[in-house]
Structure 1
């Protein structure tokens, strides 16, 4: 099945294909601009094609209003040793501003929940910027609970290269 009907008239969700790579990059840049982080986007069409469609490191769903792409979500599996099963991790969820307020974001998130249930995942996780109160309220309305007792850590760039040398 190529697309999935939703409870919203004229709104469907489908899994992205290789032909959608330019659209995926467009959505990533639009989200980065919204988050005031556009200057941090170094993703390329070639890189997205390789990581999503060749290496299958992530998946993308696209929400369409009457065939026009209006939102997307990029996600992948991670694993919980405590649960002993895979989970879904939502990296990005974005609906174009002019299409917000129609329930499309809720429907995309709900579809991810369905994927997680269908794949017997233990949970669905994601991060949200602290200043993004609109999204925080949206997520709480959907039943999400903030994990305030956890701190996110990251190693990247030169530090990642240095870290990798400990096993040479």
Structure 2
């Protein structure tokens, strides 16, 4: 099997959107997907791009059962750690199930690590579902440290209406 890892292009939006939905379904969270192809286009290819995405692409004769030639992706964006400096954050790594175990996920992470070094990042960070032991074993094998269990850090977020309420308080 052959594949290439490359930065995505506007023409890839439809297939990547389908993979995002597949990933969400795998995580039993399809109902939480709010992103649209139009939002992805603006945020990735607009005047102020906020993230990058690498894709894994196979030749047409090796396409997936669903007919896709894009069989994996890795979203990433710059962040900052006040203790260490620049950080590249990997938002999502997904490989179509029938293409797992063929080195595609590792190849995507290799390329993202190269981007991190090119941007002088001191770390590559990401999250993984605690129940996904296969993913955690994969990341650990690559040298990842689970900071939740080791350092007792918790990932938190403030969503929707609560963000608006906080912003309103800043306006007063």
Does residue 14 of structure 2 align to residue 22 of structure 1? Answer: yes
> Which shifted more, 24-33 or 9-18?
9-18
Does residue 147 of structure 2 align to residue 155 of structure 1? Answer: no
Deviations 1:14-44 (A, max 9, x none): 1011222212211211110111100100111
Does residue 160 of structure 2 align to residue 130 of structure 1? Answer: no
1:63 is matched with which residue?
Answer: 56
1:121 is matched with which residue?
Answer: 121
RMSD, aligned α-carbons? 1.2
Give, in whole Å, the separation in 1 of the partners of 2:3 and 2:37.
Answer: 26
Give the structure-1-normalised TM-score.
0.90
SS in 2 for 1:120: coil
Give, in whole Å, the separation in 2 of the partners of 1:150 and 1:114.
Answer: 26
SS in 2 for 1:131: coil
Matches within 5 A, 1:1-168: 10-54=2-46, 55-66=48-59, 68-83=69-84, 85-148=85-148, 149-168=152-171
Give, in whole Å, the separation in 1 of the partners of 2:164 and 2:76.
Answer: 25
Long gaps (5+) in structure 1: 1-8
User: How far did 1:117 drift?
Assistant: 1.3
Answer whether contact 2:16 2:70 (CA < 8 A) is retained. no
Give, in whole Å, the separation in 2 of the partners of 1:21 and 1:65.
Answer: 16
Long gaps (5+) in structure 2: 61-68
Give, in whole Å, the separation in 2 of the partners of 1:151 and 1:10.
Answer: 39
Give, in whole Å, the separation in 1 of the partners of 2:146 and 2:124.
Answer: 12
Q: How many residues align?
A: 159
Give, in whole Å, the separation in 2 of the partners of 1:134 and 1:19.
Answer: 31
Give the structure-2-normalised TM-score.
0.88
> Which shifted more, 21-30 or 143-152?
21-30
User: How far did 1:166 drift?
Assistant: 1.3
